Amino acid sequence: MNYFLDAWSEAALTSLGFFWMALWAFALGYLISSLIQVLVTRSRMQKMMGDTGFKSISLGTFFGFISSSCSFAALSGTRALFQRGAGLVPSLAFLLASTNLVVELGIVIALFLSWQFVVGEYIGGLLLIIFAWLFVAWTRPDQLIKEARQRLAKEHQEDEKESQNWKQKLFSSTGWQQIGKKYVMEWQMVWKDVLIGFTVAGVIAAFVPDAFFETLFIGSGGEQAQNPGFGAVLAQTLIGPVAAFFTFIGSMGNIPLAALLFDQGVSFAGVMAFIFSDLVVLPILRINARYYGWKLALYILVLLLTCLVAASLVLHYSFAFLDLLPSSDLQGQLMQRDKFAINTGFFLNLIFLAFSGLLGWQAWKAKKAAGHEHHHHHHGSVSLTDRILQLVAGAAAIWLAAGLLIALVG
């Protein structure tokens, strides 16, 4: 019993430590995202994008790069672009860029992993877009696209009102109220994913033995982990998205889990495949089915799985050819870090906590100015998924609170 309680407290402290390490990166990323969303509105993006072509795909990639990293927000934005006439490939480019090429994701990856994974994330994001373009050109899902457009044509979507240009917004109190509102909404969109992801990472670190990873990810244990053969790399690349499929963890919440996989000897390709799998999780499939119908949703799922496996393998062996694979000496070091050290990250956290408070105050002022009307941010998510996420997130919060209490009184 004492062992279980000790592991429980260790799991809770590990989860909180992981979050404390990444807090300033989240805050900085969501500040940048909020600024861009207020200053560069979605309607401007839609007016500039047309059907499939190099220009449209490039614009989709760029607009995704400057957008939110929340998977659910990315789905909503993708649906809006597609609904307004953007081609499937430019819409997918926006989706893949907004979950793989955003600044905050690279910062969090750098904190938990190494520079090779950051480079792999951005190059891999571009590879995913290229492979998706090739996949659509090869399979030609014209009928599926037609049916999805007919489905979306029945829905009504309000246009954004643009009463000010970006300079007026940036240097006005109402502009900063909008930025504060967007910043709060960013946290509202991701807090469940982040809470669940970091909690699960702590539980795995404290309770799951190394033998489990060696069994699940073939070739990840012992000396073979230092130089796995193609069969082992391919198996790990296939297992990564399968393991991610049944989670509720989005693009930001799965990074500490990816770091744990690397810590346990999983190959570069296997870890990258897991990171890229944030768009093939079960809730995302259900939301896409609601937007486009099950046929196109399953098509997108197969497309994403195919592309992420291919991109992960290309990255792994390209890095291996250039002798750039992350050293195995880096593995096993994640749990050895002092997660609550008084360092640069500690002071950055304090600064961004204070700044987050100011932005929260601006959001409150915006709500008050609107006459205390409650505006719920709509992800377009399925109500059952929301309820499950709420329950799992609530259980995670209780788990962390109890574990912290055990650590304090133990």
Angle at alpha carbon of residue 297, lines to 392 and 77, rounded to 5°: 75
Name every residue whose Cβ is closer than 8 Å to that of residue 346 and which is 6 or more positions away in sequence.
340
Q: Which amino acid is at 67?
A: S
41-62 residue pLDDT tens = 656 665 666 666 888 899 889 8
Pairwise CA distance, residues 86 & 48, whole Å: 9
User: What is the rounded (10 degree) CA torsion for 9, 10, 15, 17?
Assistant: 110
Pairwise CA distance, residues 374 & 22, whole Å: 30
Higher pLDDT, 19 or 41: 19
What residue spans of 208-249 are helical by DSSP H? 210-216, 230-245
Residues 9/406, Cβ–Cβ less than 8 Å? yes
Residue 187: what pLDDT? 83
118-131 residue pLDDT tens = 999 999 999 999 99
For 98-139, the DSSP string reads HHHS-HHHHHHHHHHS-HHHHHHHHHHHHHHHHHHHHHHHHH
Residue 284 CA: distances (Å) to CA of 154, 155, 304, 369, 409: 22, 20, 12, 35, 40
Place of tokens 């799965």: 254
Annotated domain spans of the chain: 2-150+166-409
Residue 254: what pLDDT? 79
Whether 16 has a pLDDT exceeding 60, the answer reads yes
Whether 245 has a pLDDT exceeding 90, the answer reads no
Whether 247 has a pLDDT exceeding 70, the answer reads no
Residues 200/249, Cβ–Cβ less than 8 Å? yes
Higher pLDDT, 382 or 389: 389
Residue 2: what pLDDT? 81
Residues 233/312, Cβ–Cβ less than 8 Å? no
Look at residues 406, 383, 126, 390 and name the one whose alpha carbon lies nearest to residue 248.
390
This prediction has a pTM of 0.74
Q: Which amino acid is at 372?
A: H
